[in-house]
Chain A
Amino acid sequence: MDLFTMILYVSLLMTIPMAVLMLIYFACSTRYRAKGGEAPYTSGLDYPREDLSVPDVFFWSIARVHGRRIYVFLREKIHNGVLDNWLTWMMSWLVFLAVLVMVFTLM
């Protein structure tokens, strides 16, 4: 067997058990997925309107309407301080990166 085929086989042999383990992990972890404890807080949103200049009012009005939703997502889904959730994000990124590079190389 040439080395190229061997690398493919070995990679496949490593990938299948890893995929099975990951599936088991995801199946179990969703039930116990930890939630972040920090309350969303946007500094500046509590400034009295009369203290703000016109551009400030414009900026903070946008932040009030759209910003809070982004912050809630960023804080609760991403930056919630839970290691388990971080690893899910990071590992997904690794798989995505590997697939991306392989696809472009094969093209």
Chain B
Amino acid sequence: MLWEPYMLGLASLLPILGAFATPFIWVATRRRGVVRAWALVIITATFLVTLLNLYHILYRSRLGVETYYFGGWILSLNFQGGIVYTVDGLSALLGLVAAGLVLAAAVYSVDYIHGSGEEWYYTLLMGLLAGLIGIFYTGDAFNLFVMLEVASVSAYALVAYYRRSGPAIEAALKYAIVGSIATTIYFISLVLLYTSISQVSVRVGDETVYLSTLNIAGMQLAYRLAAAGGVSGINVLTPAAAIFISMATWVFMTKAALFPNHFWLPDAHPAAPSPVSALLSGVVVKAGIYAIIRFIYTVYMPSSYQPIVSITDTLMNTVVVVGAVSSLVAGFMLLVQEDVKRLIAYSTIMHMGYIAMGIGIGTRMGLEASIYHILTHATGKALLFLSAGAAIMITGTRSINELQGIAERSRVVAAGIIISALSLAGTFPFGGFASKLVLYLAFIQRGAYILAVILITTSAMAFAAYAKLLYGLVFKRPIRSEVKARPGRAMNTVIVVLSIIVVLLGVLAPYVLDDLVGPVASSVLNYDNYYRSVLLR
């Protein structure tokens, strides 16, 4: 249909226009209710657009990949041109997850965020959403850098939302310094990559075409042609690819908070308001994981050129080792936390480790398991942060030892914490159990028994850490008699909806695997379609 390609562009345009319009709406009306309603309308519309996009890509699209050329600037044969969005199943799914969680955070914030600065909060929230959708949808490595910056700058500012709190400012500054170093290194690596790729040329009839591009499909084609021997300038491509891969992987590991680039996360996530923590843990760290998947599976894996194959193998082994170390270190650190939000933050590092291990083993089942775990972790972690935020609101403390008797104060909040913690620890019948089971089977199928042992051991550590929280929550009496504040209807609704999703992701595991995760993994692995969708417009 005619309108469907435009939906791809609209997904990130809507929130960015919404973000720019918000300060004007605030100045014109001076009513926070109007700003809130505006933000909710824009974010809901974006969510519906991403939902349509996923449906179209998975069930209607001929190739399973769709390309949208901003401003109608169609790429020439050497992949030069304007901004291009190339959306496959993984991009569409992660776009939907981002929009869904931002919508949940925005609804939750109606009761949670009040007072001066609220208008900027919603502006940044929409900026973050635009950046995230841009990261997931873009088909260009340079545009990926731009969108990483858009999302990151919004995230730094959101962490510093409590601007009169010393720890929040310190955490935001640390996050910003580490994040800026990472994106700068990515930019430098892109310069090197562009210089090398623009030396690669192909003979098309009588014409020599230079692949002067950072388009992901163009990069895939350059490396594939290298194997066929149909290009010149290849001697530059290999060392440049090696340097680019090492630098870019380091950057994506920083964004994904994988050891030893994870230090910023345990400071940044607890310091932010709870809905922001939910987004940072639920979806922002997934941007790094997405970029790793995109470069490994779409750019490098399709090439059979021997140096590129060795680089890819090294990279995948590194991702596995780093994932394993991340989950072990985070597992140990989980046990010593006294602050509930810090505990949840370390749990994020552990789960990022699992996802990295699944990607790194390089099998279809490993990829499916990682995609499934991205889903269950995103929803489970968002639910845990939002429920913990409500519990902190009730008790006025973040200390696990004082966070007791919540079940007596609010059953919805207690249920939210219990369901999410059990799911993240990998307990039947929740989503976390199902995705960890598929991960476990993928490791066994690959013969990576040590990874299976690490998965089980660290899950046990997480369970021990959550057990203390859950025991106090359910079986102990509240320490303080007074209730600081009660969660409102909007907060409770979000917790209930996310709890249902976490349960359904586990109970409906066979359907989720067959009808969602499987097709998404197929669209990533059918890498031919990625460049076909760019060229065969």
A interface list, Cβ under 8 A from B? 3-4, 7-8, 11, 40-44, 59, 63, 67, 70-71, 74-75, 78-79, 81, 83, 86-87, 89-90, 93-94, 97-98, 100-102, 104-105, 107
Contact = CB atoms under 8 A, between A and B. Distances in A.
B17 interface: no
A8 B103 CA distance: 49
Contacts of B372: none
Interface stretch (B114-122, B127-135, B206-214, B306-314): B306-314
6 contacts: A8-B239, A43-B468, A44-B335, A94-B250, A102-B243, A104-B310
Given A71-B336, A83-B178, A89-B263, 4 more contacts: A3-B196, A70-B332, A78-B263, A86-B263
Nearest to A99: B246
B247 A98 contact: yes
A105 B335 contact: no
Interface of B: 174, 177-178, 181, 185, 192, 195-196, 199, 233, 235-236, 238-243, 245-247, 249-250, 254, 260-261, 263-264, 266-267, 307, 310-311, 313-315, 318, 329, 332-333, 335-338, 400, 464-465, 468
A51 to B, nearest CB: 11
A93 to B, nearest CB: 5
A98 B338 CA distance: 37
A97 B235 CA distance: 22
Given A43-B465, A89-B260, A90-B261, A4 B242 contact: no
B335 A4 contact: no
B310 A107 contact: yes
A94 B247 contact: yes
Given A7-B240, A74-B329, A101 B314 contact: yes
Contacts of B468: 43-44
A24 to B, nearest CB: 18
A79 B250 contact: no
A10 to B, nearest CB: 9
Of A8, A70, A98, the most chain B CB neighbours within 10 A belong to A98
B242 A105 contact: yes
A105 B310 contact: yes
Contacts of A107: 310
Given A40-B336, A43-B465, A86-B264, A100 B314 contact: yes
